[in-house]
Amino acid sequence: MTGTVVSYREALRAAVGDAMRGDERVFLMGEDVGRYGGSFAVSLGLLEEFGPERIRDAPLSESAFVGAGIGAAIAGMRPIVEIMTVNFALLALDQIMNNAATLRHMSAGQVGVPLVIRMTTGGGRQLAAQHSHSLEGMFAHIPGLRVVAPATIADAYGMLAPALADPDPVLMFEHGALYPVRGELPDPCPAVDLTSAAVRRAGTDVTVVTHGGSLPKALEAAEQCSSEGMAVEVIDLRVLRPLDTETVVESVSRTHRAVVVDEAWRSVGLSAEIAAQISEMAFYELDAPVARVCAAEVPVPYAAQLERAALPQVEDIVAAIRGVGG
């Protein structure tokens, strides 16, 4: 499929299919991933190719099927576990935090858990509070996990292979608003590491740091600001644990201003961690305080106008860029 124009969900589907064709240990498990084709159509058609042993519909119990994935990983398989939304991942938090993330440490390195957990995150689709939150920062807080957030077609395809090759658990957060987005999947698709941020737009006046579904908004805001004579650099973190602080600090040291955009809540969140690291490592390079653009401190509303007001928008990012003196 490389070298063609595909949607974000099609790139993910291609990555899963290619991984399963290349390694018989790989299988997909989750709610409605089989006959239904996945809640967001990522696994559509895979059951017909690989059969029910490798595309496994799971019961409505995140704790149970994430636990089964952990066991399969320990036994030598390479499971991909799909959780419908990040909100539902909280039902498996014990398995993720107290088992998957800790077993290598607690076994003195004897037991690894090569498990990939994919889940949808983010709002903007009128799915209300139980299906719309951005909890990546909560999981990025946990040692023993690697947390990634592909925001482009190339990363949606390219991040799965290194995630499956990782000897420890990897959580992949897919923003729901990105699934229908279309773009070219390069041929060959460039290799993707799970350690580095990516500079998506070069600039000299302000650094905007973001990830996932906020990346298109940040790029649009940067384009708007360019008409005002501001050259905005946009960094896609891509990997939320471990954070590539070096790329962020290098950029801020050149632009001397920073705006952090995060669809999650502002209080005690990922944006605070990034702002703190910038302040710790590049304080004397800053010409203005680090600005943050985050969600309102409320459960994500259902009503479209309220949801829009609660989540970061392009105009909010533009205002923050102007506010830091870009």
pTM, to two decimals: 0.96
C-alpha to C-alpha distances, 254 to 82, 137, 210, nearest whole angstrom = 40, 27, 18
- Burial class (CB within 10 angstroms; exposed 0-12, middle 13-18, buried 19+) of 60: exposed
pLDDT digits (tens, 9 = 90+) for 98-133: 999 999 999 999 999 999 999 999 999 999 999 999
Half-sphere exposure of 197 (CA within 13 A, CB side): 27
Active site residue 10: no
Q: Which of 31, 62, 136, 273 is labelled catalytic?
A: 62
Q: Which three-class secondary structure state does DSSP give residue 30?
A: strand
**Helix spans in 93-211 (H):** 93-95, 103-106, 136-140, 153-158, 160-165
Res. 1: pLDDT tops 70 = no
Domains and CATH numbers, the chain: 4-185 (3.40.50.970), 198-323 (3.40.50.920)
Element holding 178 (H helix, E strand): none
pLDDT digits (tens, 9 = 90+) for 260-270: 999 999 999 99
DSSP string, 246-261: HHHHHHHHHH--EEEE
- 5 forms bridges with which residues in the sheet? 184
Q: Which of 10, 31, 131, 136 is labelled catalytic?
A: 131
Instruction: Give per-residue burial for 272-290: e unless 16+ CB within 10 Å, then b.
Output: bbbbebbeebbeeebeeeb
Active site residue 62: yes
DSSP 24: T
> Tokens for 137?
């920062």
